[in-house]
């Protein structure tokens, strides 16, 4: 990145020079706040969208890398009249074909809602399944499933059933009592 101590020192001095305005992402320097702002808007727009899959990127360079890596060799072309989309991967091509029909083969495991592609389903599930559904009646903590609630109840609210006969301290698990006895007695 920097070739010598002199380069490092020069960059450090520029940071303290009020006529130089550094970009905090790429560390380039600009002669004015306006030039810096323009650079940041052009280079780091929040949502530069991929025209193939809709994924958003902050930098155009990241979008270009994404396109080469994921959409590089376009083997699959949509046969629907008026649609010129092409795809590098068969699974994305198949998902796209579903968008031209009523076929929605991807189902949310939380609410059974159906989607034509796995990416829409994944985005939906992050919200749907991420919601808390069941509440502990003892402490009011919420959980995503009855199984998670049962594990919580066993761990947090189960009666202490393993008492130490020497000091009277109680433990939830027999192993905990054994460790206590080994360390104390």
Tens digit of each residue's pLDDT (9 = 90 or more) over 78-102: 888 998 888 877 888 888 888 888 8
Distance (Å, whole) CA 36 – CA 58: 16
Q: What was the pLDDT predicted at 1?
A: 46
Distance (Å, whole) CA 2 – CA 17: 19
Cβ distance 121 to 115 under 8 Å?
A: yes
Distance (Å, whole) CA 172 – CA 170: 7
Model confidence at 10, in pLDDT bands (50, 70, 90)? low
If 0-12 CB within 10 Å is exposed, 13-18 middle and 19+ buried, where does residue 115 land?
buried
Name the CATH topology of 5-43. Answer: Double Stranded RNA Binding Domain (3.30.160)
Distance (Å, whole) CA 108 – CA 126: 10
| Main-chain phi, psi angles of 158, to 5 degrees | -70, 145
Domain ranges in the chain are 5-43
Tens digit of each residue's pLDDT (9 = 90 or more) over 110-154: 777 888 887 887 777 777 766 556 677 777 777 766 667 767 776
């Amino acid at each position: 990145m920097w070739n010598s101590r002199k380069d490092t020192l020069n960059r450090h001095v520029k940071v303290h020079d009020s006529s130089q305005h550094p970009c905090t992402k790429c560390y380039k320097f600009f002669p004015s706040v306006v030039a810096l702002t323009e650079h940041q808007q052009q280079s780091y727009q929040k949502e530069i969208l991929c025209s193939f899959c809709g994924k958003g990127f902050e930098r155009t360079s990241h979008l270009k890398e994404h396109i080469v890596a994921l959409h590089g060799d376009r083997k699959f072309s949509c046969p629907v009249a008026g649609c010129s989309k092409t795809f590098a991967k068969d699974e994305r091509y198949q998902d796209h074909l579903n968008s031209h029909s009523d076929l929605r083969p991807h189902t949310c495991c939380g609410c059974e809602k159906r989607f034509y592609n796995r990416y829409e389903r994944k985005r939906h599930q992050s919200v749907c399944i991420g919601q808390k559904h069941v509440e502990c009646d003892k402490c009011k903590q919420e959980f995503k499933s009855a199984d998670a609630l049962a594990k919580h109840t066993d761990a947090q609210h189960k009666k202490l059933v393993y008492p130490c006969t020497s000091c009277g301290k109680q433990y939830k698990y027999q192993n905990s009592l054994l460790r206590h006895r080994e360390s104390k007695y």
